[in-house]
Chain A
Amino acid sequence: MHMIKFEWKKLCRLRVFIFFLLMTILLIACLFIRNDMQQDMVKAERVEFFRHHSSEVTSQLVTDQKRQSEIGEGADSTLEESIEVGKTLYAKLQDLITHITEDGHMKALQLENDVYELAMHYQSLDKRYPMSQPEMEDEIKLNNKLLKNELPKENLAISIQPAVFMKQTVQLLVNTFGFFILLVIIGTPIAREFDDKTIKLTYVLPISSTRMVVSKWISLVLAGMAWLFVVFLSAYTISRLFGSEVKSLFNYPFFTKDMTFISAGDYVQQSIIFSVIYLFVLMSVFICLSFLVKNTLIVHIVLFILFSINLLIIKNGGAHPLLPWSYQDLDFTVLQHEAASWLGAIFSFLVTIIMLLLAIKASQRRDYQS
C-alpha cells in the first residue's frame, strides 16, 4: 500500500498531469460551447438537406407535367401516378421543412417517415430521390425509435443533449490520440527511472519484484482512471447544466455496426467499463515494455508505432470487441454490437496478467545497461 501511495504521489505532483486534466476539462467545455453556438446551423443544414430533396422532386415533377400535357391526360397511367406521388411528396417535404424550422420535433419525425415512405414509392416508379432505399429504411427505423421514446432527433456531431454530447466526447477524447497522450504523460516518470538510474534506489528497497511492478501498474491505472473520471464527469456536468433538457435522455438510440440499436445509457455504461479495462491492458503493456527495454526514447517510439499500426488495423475493419487492443478506439468498438463482449473483458484480464508476469520476470533482470 505504501508503495502505491508513493507512486501515486509521484504522479499527482507532476505538473504536466494536472495540466493535462485541466486541458481536458477546457477542451470539453470548448466543444460544448462550439456545439451550442452551432445549433442554429444544424437546423439550417437540415432544412437545406430537405430543400435539396424538394428541388430534385420539383424538377422531375415539372418534366413529367410537361410530358403529360404533350401526350394528354389518361394516356400514360404510370406517368400520372408519378405526378400524383411527386405532388404529395413535394407537399410533405414542404410541411417537414416548416416543422423543422418551427422546432416541431415530434411532428417532424413523423413527417420525415412519411416522406421516406413516399420517396421509396416514388423510386419504385423509376423516379429519382437522392437517398438509397436502405438509407431511408434505417432513418425510418431510427425515427420510430425516437418517436417511441419521445426524443427529438440530434446531430451526433453537434449536439448539446447530455447523452449525445457524452458520446461525442468519448469519440473525440477517449481514442488513440487521448490514450497515447495519457500514457506518455503518466508513464514517462516510470520509464525515465531507468534513464536516470533512480530505479536502482527502488531496487535496494526490501520489496519483491512482484510488489514493485504491481504497485507501478496500479498507480498508472489509478492515474488513468482519474483522467477518465474527469472526462466523463465534466462531459456530463457541463451538458447537464447548460444543455437541452429532455426526458429519458439516456434512452437515445445509437446505431451499431449490425444496424441494431444501443441506448445511450448502455453506451455510456459500456464505455466506462471497457475504457477502464483497456487501461488495465494498456498500462500492463507499458510497464512490461519499460522493464524490458529500459530506455524512454525507445519505449515511446515503440508505443507510437504500436498505436499507429493498431489504429490502421481498426480503421481497416480489424476491430472486434473480443480483442483487447480494439478498445483503443472505444467508440468504434463499443458500437460494433448491441451487447457488451464480456468474453473480451476476460481476454483483456488475461492479457494484463501475462504482461504483468512478463514485467515481473524482466524486473528480476537487474544488470541493465543505461
Chain B
Amino acid sequence: MRIFSFESKRLIKKKTTRVMLMLSILAVSTIYLLHFNLAEQVQKKVTNHNDFLIDLYKQDQVDWEIKKKEAQRAKDEEVLEEATFMEEHARSTHEHYLMMKEAYQNEDWKKIFQHELKQLKLFAYPPPEEPADANFENQEITNFTLRASYEEVKYMLENDIKPFMQNITTNMYLPTIYDSFSGRTLALWQEETKRYGREGIYYLYQLIQSLYIPIIILIGSFIFGNTFSSDTKKNNHIRFYQVLPLHRTKLFFTKYVTGYLGILLFVLIMLGVPIAVGTIMHGFGDLKYPILVYDGYTTEYMNRNIVEDTFHFIPLQKYLTQTLVLAIVMSLLIYTMYFLVSQFIKEPIFNMIIVGILTFVGTLISHPYNPFSYIDTDKVITHEIQLQTLNTDFTMTMGIIVTLGLSLVFMALNYISFKYNSRNDGGG
C-alpha cells in the first residue's frame, strides 16, 4: 500500500502531469466555444429564413390586396374571389411564420414540436388511401427516418424536452443509418440535419459520438501510462526499486494499477469538463433526452427493412451510464496495450501513435469477438453496428466480455515481458 501511495504521489506531483491535464481541459473548453459558435450560426440561419418567409408572404399579401381592390373596381367576381382567397392564405401564412419566429426566439419548443408533428405525420404514417413520399433534393427520405423523426419529436413534446440546435428550415429530421442519399444531396442532408448541443450533457453526448472516449483514453495513457517505461528506459529509477525489499510481482502490479487509476481519474475528469463548461454557458440539458436505439433488422433486404424495422428510444441518462461502463472497460484494454508497447519503446508519443494505429486497424475488422469493434461506444449502445454488419451478436455484454478477455491476455504479456526484462537487467 505504501508503494502504491508513493507511486500515486509521484504521478500527481509531477508538474508535467498537471500541465498536460490543464491543457486537455483547455482544449475541450476551446472546442466547446467553436461548437457554440456553430450552433449560434445555425440559429441565425433559421431566424433569417423565417424573416425571409415573413417578408415574402407580407409582400404577397399586399400584392393580392391591390389585385382585390382592382377586381372590386372592375367588378370582376372571379378575380375577386381568387384574390380574396389568396390574400387570406398569404395573411395566415405570414402570421404562421411570425409565430414560428417568435417561438424559435423564445425557445418555445412546444409550439415548434406541434407544428413539426403535424407535418411529419403526413409522411411517417400516411393514410393507406393517400400514400405520400417525402423527398430531399429529389432523393427519397426513407420511411424509417421519417418514423424515427416523428417519434422523436413526439417523445420530446410529451416529456417537455429541450432539443438540440438544428437547422429546421425544412423539418426536424433525425438522420438514421437507413438514409441512402448520395452526391451533393448527401452533403446537403448532413448539413441540414447536423445538430449542436449547447447544454452540458448534450455537448458531452455529441463528443461521445465523435470518438471522444478512445481519444481521451489514449491521451490519458500518454500522460499516466509511462509509470514503468519512464523508470526503466528513461531515467533508470528502477534501480532504486531493485535495492528495496520488494517483490517483483508486487512492484509490477503497483505500477500497473497506479497508471490505470490515473487514467480512470483522467477519463472521469475529461467527461466532467464538457458537462461543466456546457452547464456554465447554456445550462445542464435534459437527462430524459431520447436516444434512438435500433431494434435490429427484419430481413436482409434494405427496401423491406426501411418499412418493417422497428426502433425505440432510451433516455440520455441510460446512454451515459452505459457509455461510462464501456469507457471503463475500454480504458483497461487501451492502457494495457500502451503499457505493453511502452516496455519496448521509450518515447511516449510513439507509443501513443502505435497504439492509436493498432486500435484504428482493429476497428476495420468488424467481428463480434473483436474487442476493437466496440471502440465506438455510440454504435454499440444504439445497435448501429448490428445493422452495419447485419449481425446481432454485437451486444454490450459481448463487448465487455471480449474486451476484458483481451485486456487480461495483454496484462499477462505485460507481466511476462516485465519478468523477462527484469531478469535480463539482473534485478527485481
A residues in contact (CB < 8 Å) with B: 16, 123, 128-135, 138, 181, 184, 188, 295-298, 300-302, 304-305, 308-309, 312-313, 316
Check: B30 CB closer than 8 A to any chain A CB: yes
Contact B23–A130 (Cβ < 8 Å): no
- Select which of B182, B223, B350 is within 8 A of A184 by beta carbon: B350
- Residues of the A chain whose Cβ atoms lie less than 8 Å from the Cβ of B348: 297, 300
- Select which of B23, B133, B184 is within 8 A of A305 by beta carbon: B23
Q: Which residue of A lies closest to B136 (CB)?
A: A132
- A-B contact list, 10 entries, CB within 8 Å: A16-B350, A129-B138, A130-B139, A188-B347, A296-B347, A297-B16, A300-B222, A301-B23, A305-B24, A312-B31
Q: Which residue of B lies closest to A303 (CB)?
A: B349
Q: Which residue of A lies closest to B226 (CB)?
A: A297
Complex: A134 Cα to B137 Cα, angstroms: 9
Contact B27–A309 (Cβ < 8 Å): yes
Check: B20 CB closer than 8 A to any chain A CB: yes
- Residues of the B chain whose Cβ atoms lie less than 8 Å from the Cβ of A138: 184
Known contacts A131-B183, A297-B348, A316-B34, A305 near B16 by CB under 8 Å: no
Complex: A188 Cα to B26 Cα, angstroms: 24
Contact B31–A123 (Cβ < 8 Å): no
Q: A128-B140, A304-B219, A305-B26 given; name 18 further pairs at CB < 8 Å.
A: A128-B133, A128-B135, A131-B138, A131-B139, A132-B137, A132-B138, A134-B137, A138-B184, A184-B349, A298-B19, A298-B23, A300-B222, A301-B24, A301-B219, A302-B23, A305-B27, A312-B31, A316-B34
Q: Kindly identify, within residues 320 to 354 of chain B, every residue whose CB is under 8 Å from any CB belonging to chain A.
A: 347-350, 353
- Residues of the B chain whose Cβ atoms lie less than 8 Å from the Cβ of A132: 137-139, 183-185
- Select which of B26, B183, B350 is within 8 A of A135 by beta carbon: B183
Contact B24–A309 (Cβ < 8 Å): no
- Residues of the B chain whose Cβ atoms lie less than 8 Å from the Cβ of A298: 16, 19-20, 23
Q: Which residue of A lies closest to B353 (CB)?
A: A181
- Residues of the A chain whose Cβ atoms lie less than 8 Å from the Cβ of B182: 131
Closest CB of chain B to A361's CB: distance in Å?
Answer: 21
Closest CB of chain B to A206's CB: distance in Å?
Answer: 31
- Residues of the A chain whose Cβ atoms lie less than 8 Å from the Cβ of B219: 301, 304
Complex: A130 Cα to B135 Cα, angstroms: 10
Closest CB of chain B to A348's CB: distance in Å?
Answer: 23
Q: Which residue of A lies closest to B184 (CB)?
A: A135
Contact B350–A130 (Cβ < 8 Å): no
Complex: A138 Cα to B347 Cα, angstroms: 49
Q: Which residue of B lies closest to A255 (CB)?
A: B184
- Residues of the A chain whose Cβ atoms lie less than 8 Å from the Cβ of B30: 309
Complex: A297 Cα to B23 Cα, angstroms: 12
Contact A300–B349 (Cβ < 8 Å): yes
Check: B71 CB closer than 8 A to any chain A CB: no
Closest CB of chain B to A188's CB: distance in Å?
Answer: 6
Check: B38 CB closer than 8 A to any chain A CB: yes
Complex: A165 Cα to B390 Cα, angstroms: 32
Complex: A130 Cα to B140 Cα, angstroms: 8
Q: Kindly identify, within residues 346 to 382 of chain B, every residue whose CB is under 8 Å from any CB belonging to chain A.
A: 347-350, 353
Complex: A313 Cα to B38 Cα, angstroms: 10
- Residues of the B chain whose Cβ atoms lie less than 8 Å from the Cβ of A134: 137, 184
Contact B31–A309 (Cβ < 8 Å): yes
Complex: A296 Cα to B234 Cα, angstroms: 13
Contact A301–B20 (Cβ < 8 Å): yes
- Residues of the A chain whose Cβ atoms lie less than 8 Å from the Cβ of B38: 316
Closest CB of chain B to A364's CB: distance in Å?
Answer: 23
- Residues of the B chain whose Cβ atoms lie less than 8 Å from the Cβ of A123: 138
